[in-house]
């Protein structure tokens, strides 16, 4: 635990990555002083950083004294882009609300994300993955794994899940891709909101729309028509599903592929024995890449933890990187090893705000990586890793802007 010291002397957070597919060693080393540390944010505010698995579970489970709402004055935003996300309305549902609102909304969507319901999607996800790999191979090497595979696959899966009609896919996917380009995000949010409004109105009409078996159809039938859900709330839920279900999976596919290719023995092991190693490989990639640097919360009453008091109103960051590299979670955590027995990491968070789509994400990742090593066994990067552009220092979801590959 960091003792009281001037704000300017506290470690700045987030800490830039030296390697795009793994957190900074300096970030991970913040654990050395104990399970909690004080850090300084970009706007001069401070927050508690929780860095070990036991304390992370305690904080993430304490929904009575810990809030996820980003409107508290000391909520620990990591950069100015987070402020835009909050203003977009994305934070008004699911990922930015506390019980009882969160409980009500989550209960509405969870039937679509059960293990059984997700498993039914396997043939459709496999078809989407195969189609994108077919296109990539027709175009020929070199190719960009990000724009040709890692982006379109999750986008197409989430549109299928939501019940977006196929004839609308370009109208939906074009702004969906723009949503993750900072300078286009505001425009994309407006376009997607308008499209989703129109789609919901169509689905409300007698007979609905083609492809009327998705999550939106379920929510309209079971909750919107009953008055338990407003149209604005439904639009925001759809947007939240889109953001959470595409950008995260896209980045894990691209970062995980880079990690495998930069460790040729790991790629070769997975290529030679995918049936046995795929489950462990997915969990190790999620752990090692630690896509989300930290989960943000704010204390709404005093919390005593590890001999310190987190005071009411203070910001809290749960370091997914620190927790994922905790030896209690993974022995020899600095080693990338897909042969580890599958063990869930903190990449989907913990507690009541655990990602509702974790079953779907795991299924997508399993199919994506299995298909890559099977269909492109000689895949390799077309540029040195230090020439592959990424956002190593901005504190948002870790991402590659491109991943040039040959096969």
More confident residue, 214 or 270: 270
- What sign has the CA pseudo-torsion 355, 359, 364, 366? positive
pLDDT greater than 80 at residue 20 = yes
pLDDT greater than 90 at residue 352 = yes
Contact residues for 369 (Cβ-Cβ < 8 A; gap 6+): 253, 256, 257, 260, 270, 274, 278, 281, 282, 285
- Residue 163 per-residue DSSP state: T
Whether 202 maps to a domain, the answer reads yes
What total of structural domains would you count in the chain? 1
Res 162: pLDDT: 92
Res 82: pLDDT: 66
Are the C-beta atoms of 287 and 345 separated by less than 8 Å?
A: yes
Whether 40 maps to a domain, the answer reads yes
Are the C-beta atoms of 136 and 128 separated by less than 8 Å?
A: no
- Cα separation, 201 vs 221, whole angstroms: 12
Whether 2 maps to a domain, the answer reads no
- Cα separation, 42 vs 150, whole angstroms: 30
pLDDT greater than 80 at residue 90 = no
Residue 80 belongs to domain spanning: 7-406
Q: What is the CATH number of the domain that holds 271?
A: 1.10.630.10
Q: Which helix (H) or strand (E) holds 234?
A: helix 231-262
Whether 1 maps to a domain, the answer reads no
Whether 68 maps to a domain, the answer reads yes
Q: Sort 115 into a burial class: Cβ within 10 Å, 0-12 / 13-18 / 19+.
A: exposed
More confident residue, 214 or 364: 364
Residues 272-283: pLDDT tens digits? 999 999 999 999
Res 109: pLDDT: 94
Mean pLDDT across 232-257: 91
pLDDT greater than 80 at residue 6 = no
89 band by pLDDT with thresholds 50, 70 and 90 = low
Q: What is the DSSP string of 101-149?
A: HHHHHHHHHGGGGSHHHHHTTHHHHHHHHHHHHHHHHHH-SSEEHIIII
pLDDT greater than 60 at residue 1 = no
């Amino acid at each position: 635990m960091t003792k009281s010291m001037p704000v300017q002397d506290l470690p700045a957070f987030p800490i830039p990555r030296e390697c795009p597919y793994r957190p900074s060693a300096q970030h991970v080393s913040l654990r050395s002083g104990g399970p909690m540390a004080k850090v300084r944010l970009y706007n001069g505010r401070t927050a508690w950083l929780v860095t070990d698995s036991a304390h992370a579970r305690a904080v993430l489970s304490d929904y009575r004294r810990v809030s996820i709402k980003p409107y508290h004055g000391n909520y620990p935003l990591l950069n100015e882009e987070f402020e835009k996300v909050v203003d977009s309305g994305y934070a008004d549902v699911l990922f930015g609300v506390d019980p009882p609102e969160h409980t009500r909304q989550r209960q509405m969507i969870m039937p679509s994300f059960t293990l059984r319901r997700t498993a039914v999607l396997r043939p459709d996800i496999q078809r989407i993955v195969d189609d994108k790999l077919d296109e990539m191979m027709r175009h020929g090497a070199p190719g960009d794994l990000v724009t040709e595979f890692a982006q379109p696959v999750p986008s197409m899966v989430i549109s299928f899940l939501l019940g977006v009609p196929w004839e609308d896919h370009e109208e939906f996917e074009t702004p969906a891709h723009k949503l993750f380009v900072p300078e286009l995000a505001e425009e994309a949010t407006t376009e997607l909101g308008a499209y989703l409004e129109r789609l919901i109105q169509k689905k409300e009409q007698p007979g609905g729309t083609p492809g009327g078996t998705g999550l939106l159809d379920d929510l309209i039938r079971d909750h919107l028509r009953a008055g338990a859900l407003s149209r604005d709330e439904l639009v925001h839920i759809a947007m939240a599903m889109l953001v959470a279900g595409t950008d995260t999976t896209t980045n894990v596919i691209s970062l995980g592929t880079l990690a495998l290719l930069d460790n040729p023995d790991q790629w070769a092991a997975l290529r030679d024995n995918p049936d046995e190693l795929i489950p462990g490989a997915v969990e190790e990639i999620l752990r090692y890449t630690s896509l989300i640097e930290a989960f943000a919360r704010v204390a709404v009453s005093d919390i005593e933890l590890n001999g310190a008091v987190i005071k009411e109103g203070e910001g809290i960051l749960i370091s997914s990187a620190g927790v994922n590299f905790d030896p209690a979670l993974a022995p020899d955590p600095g080693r990338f090893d897909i042969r580890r027995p599958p063990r869930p990491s903190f990449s989907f968070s913990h507690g009541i705000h655990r990602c509702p789509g974790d079953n779907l994400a795991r299924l997508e990742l399993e199919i994506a990586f299995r298909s890559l090593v099977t269909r492109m066994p000689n895949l390799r990067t077309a540029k040195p890793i230090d020439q592959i552009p990424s956002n190593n220092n901005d504190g948002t979801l870790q991402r590659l802007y491109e991943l040039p590959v040959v096969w």
